[in-house]
Structure 1
Amino acid sequence: MLRILHDTNYDFIRWWKVMAAITIGFILLGLGSLAIKPPNYSIEFTGGTLMQLQFTQPPDVGEIRSALDDAGIHGAEIQQFGSNRDFTVRAQNPAQVAAQARGAENIAVTIESVLKKKFGENSLKVGRTEAVGPRVGQELKRGAVIAILLSFLITLVYLSIRFEWRFATAAVIATSHDVFTTIAFLKLMHLEISLTVVAGLLTVLGYSLNDTIIIFDRVRENLRKGRKETLYETLNRSINETLPRSVLTHVTTFLATLALLLFAGEVIRPFAWVMAFGIVTGTFSSIYVAAPVLLWIERKWPRKTGARQSSSTVTPTSRTRRSTATATR
């Protein structure tokens, strides 16, 4: 792999407009679906009761729903997972959540007793039970939003100190891209937004930011060398120089995530989906979002007078074209 990617000279920045159109289209598709229907929040954020049940014999879903409706638990979501004997029951009806918050009879106890009465005393086992009140759910949702916003703020401050505001702004825009594309992906895949998913999202942001910092650090080193080349050429050079390291890191991480997708249980699988997609979109944003944004910022606000043309040229020079053609051959 290192031998294949050694001394590459691909013109990555050349395709930034095409890549920007693709990613904007994907984000708009996700936001459009969010406008039609809000995202699916888990029990941690909405409040309610979640139970995982294992039946001794495959039950009929209609009979489960009918028994719960007769007991006054209306609108419960019943899903099969794993084998045909494993089911999850979610009671997220606002009235039921409010009743649980007022100290009414535990809904989980009611569900278990109703189903045992319907199917038999030894007909099922309760694998897992979660009960979250509405106030706790709102606090967790607010905490998740604050965690993401704080990550942006800390990133902006840190990169402004280590590099400068141009690099910091480009990195924050790239990580914002990762958040929006991942949320769109979750919506299109009909995945719930849970605390585990938020943890995966924060991990993706850190992973993507690390990749962006590595590229920007190489850009800074190449700028200090004083080569007579435009920022366009410096960005391409820096991306190509860090490409072997990036590919090896991303491939190994993706393989580990793939193992989680294939062999992990239902609880950890949404986290694995976020990580798998985040590795792809994080790599994409480091090259096709952060770098072009830095180029655009430098064009609008050059470092010094007279540097606008030399530092922000949007088209490669003939030397870059010749070297790219040679590398292609």
Structure 2
Amino acid sequence: MLLKLIPDNTHIPFMKIRSFAYVVSLLLILASAALFFSRGLNLGIDFIGGSTIEILTPEPANIGNIRALLEKLDLGDVSVQEFGEPRDVLIRFQEQPGGEEAQKEAQIRVENALQTNIEGVSIRSTSFIGPKVSSELARDGILAVSLSVAAVLVYIWFRFEWQFGLGAVIALVHDVLLTVGFFSITQLDFNLSIIAAILTIVGYSLNDTVVVYDRVRENMRKYRKMPLPELIDRSINDTLSRTVMTSLTTLIALFALYFFGGPVIQGFTAAMIWGIVIGTYSSIFIASPVLILLHLRSTAFIGDEKDQDSDQDGDGNLTKVPAP
């Protein structure tokens, strides 16, 4: 039924509004940068340092009650989650102002509160993530995202042409910057799981972009004399049904996780939901029209003449062939 919502023979003129899309994206990027430098990100324990306490409860842990108990201690950012068995609980809270002594005091307060309110609880281990470790995690996260974008550039460049590689990277950078802006305005906890979400967004957006690019390359071989904006519109419309179906089914699963998965994965799923929306937008309105700005020419595919036998008339002239 959902497939019928997007007919196979759509003729939506996406390229006619590409200038408007450029302006919207530019304004959003500038707003993201302004928010990042003025408001910053709500960095989690992974990036600002803090304490980790592992506990074992006598019965399956009530995560909600433990979180409510610790929030009363005024420790700042607190994370409570199960790991392993239902009785195993991992508690993390941010570094306290006042140095090492203040951090030790906070750990003692947490342990006392747990032992007072949860009968039979045992403290299995405690650890502290210092500023040096957290800064290394932040550096590694930035490096991971940067290397993934660079790898995309190399991959697309070798598979297609340099214009496609540059267009894909511009779209991915666009998605990453807007995701940072999203977390700056919402002030959701920004931790290592969000870095994982950004890397997943990069992969999803790339997949959408490659599908469109593959159809652009195919259509350029078929319609050598067709104006590039018209050809890109045709390519996007050819893949639109697939794009919408993939995005909708993914969003249904993500919304279920966001509303019913609990606060532990809420930031991750929020990032993914935003990423699916912005990744679909960028594959249509950023990655594709950038090919026009980069002056892509069909002559780049002249070497593929063997693929064009069905597209030639008796005199060897290329003719228009209906798209599959």
Q: TM-score category by the smaller chain? A: 0.7 to 0.9
**Which blocks of at least 5 consecutive residues in structure 1 are unaligned?**
66-75, 83-87, 306-329
Alignment map for 1:217-256 (pairs within 5 Å): 217-256=214-253
Supply the distance in 2 between the matched residues of 1:185 and 1:283 (Cα, whole angstroms): 16
Shift of 1:272: 0.2
Supply the distance in 2 between the matched residues of 1:2 and 1:55 (Cα, whole angstroms): 44
How many residues in Structure 1 have an aligned counterpart in Structure 2?
A: 279
Say which SS state the counterpart of residue 230 (structure 2) adopts: helix
Distance 1:247 1:187, change over 3 A: same
1:13-61 CA distance string (max 9 Å, x none): 1111222222222222222122212212111111112679865897797
**Which 4+ stretches in 1 moved above 4 angstroms?**
50-61, 78-82, 104-108, 123-130, 302-305
Supply the distance in 2 between the matched residues of 1:105 and 1:92 (Cα, whole angstroms): 7
Distance 1:255 1:113, change over 3 A: closer
AA matched with 2:94: A
Aligned to 1:17: 19
Supply the distance in 2 between the matched residues of 1:240 and 1:214 (Cα, whole angstroms): 12
Distance 1:233 1:93, change over 3 A: same
Supply the distance in 2 between the matched residues of 1:198 and 1:57 (Cα, whole angstroms): 24
Supply the distance in 2 between the matched residues of 1:126 and 1:286 (Cα, whole angstroms): 51
> Which of 200, 205, 227 does residue 202 from structure 2 map onto?
205
Do residues 44 (structure 1) and 46 (structure 2) align? yes
Aligned to 1:134: 131
Check the 8 A contact 1:43/1:50 in 2, yes or no. no
TM-score scaled by structure 2? 0.76
Distance 1:265 1:303, change over 3 A: same
Check the 8 A contact 1:13/1:236 in 2, yes or no. yes
Supply the distance in 2 between the matched residues of 1:262 and 1:202 (Cα, whole angstroms): 22
Supply the distance in 1 between the matched residues of 2:18 and 2:171 (Cα, whole angstroms): 13
Aligned to 2:76: 77
Shift of 1:290: 0.6
Supply the distance in 2 between the matched residues of 1:56 and 1:170 (Cα, whole angstroms): 48
Aligned to 1:6: 8
Say which SS state the counterpart of residue 290 (structure 1) adopts: coil
> Which of 113, 121, 124 does residue 116 from structure 2 map onto?
121
Alignment map for 1:186-197 (pairs within 5 Å): 186-197=183-194
Distance 1:232 1:24, change over 3 A: same
1:172-196 CA distance string (max 9 Å, x none): 0000000001110111111121111
Check the 8 A contact 1:166/1:297 in 2, yes or no. yes
Supply the distance in 2 between the matched residues of 1:287 and 1:135 (Cα, whole angstroms): 41
1:279-304 CA distance string (max 9 Å, x none): 000000000001111110017xx576
1:235-261 CA distance string (max 9 Å, x none): 000000000111111100010101111
TM-score scaled by structure 1? 0.75
> Which of 259, 268, 271 does residue 271 from structure 1 map onto?
268
Q: How large is the RMSD of aligned CA atoms in angstroms?
A: 3.3
Distance 1:219 1:265, change over 3 A: same
Supply the distance in 2 between the matched residues of 1:164 and 1:54 (Cα, whole angstroms): 53
Aligned to 2:143: 146
Supply the distance in 2 between the matched residues of 1:51 and 1:265 (Cα, whole angstroms): 20
Say which SS state the counterpart of residue 291 (structure 1) adopts: coil
Supply the distance in 1 between the matched residues of 2:205 and 2:228 (Cα, whole angstroms): 22
Supply the distance in 2 between the matched residues of 1:204 and 1:93 (Cα, whole angstroms): 33
Check the 8 A contact 1:7/1:241 in 2, yes or no. yes
Distance 1:2 1:39, change over 3 A: same
Supply the distance in 2 between the matched residues of 1:20 and 1:252 (Cα, whole angstroms): 28
Aligned to 2:57: none
Supply the distance in 1 between the matched residues of 2:157 and 2:109 (Cα, whole angstroms): 54
Supply the distance in 2 between the matched residues of 1:273 and 1:22 (Cα, whole angstroms): 22
AA matched with 1:43: I
> Which of 50, 69, 73 does residue 64 from structure 1 map onto?
73
Check the 8 A contact 2:35/2:185 in 1, yes or no. yes
> Which of 96, 109, 112 does residue 111 from structure 1 map onto?
109
1:108-163 CA distance string (max 9 Å, x none): 641224546xxx82368699977422222111111111111111111111111100
Distance 1:226 1:64, change over 3 A: closer
Identity rate, percent: 35
Supply the distance in 1 between the matched residues of 2:176 and 2:292 (Cα, whole angstroms): 22
Do residues 165 (structure 1) and 174 (structure 2) align? no
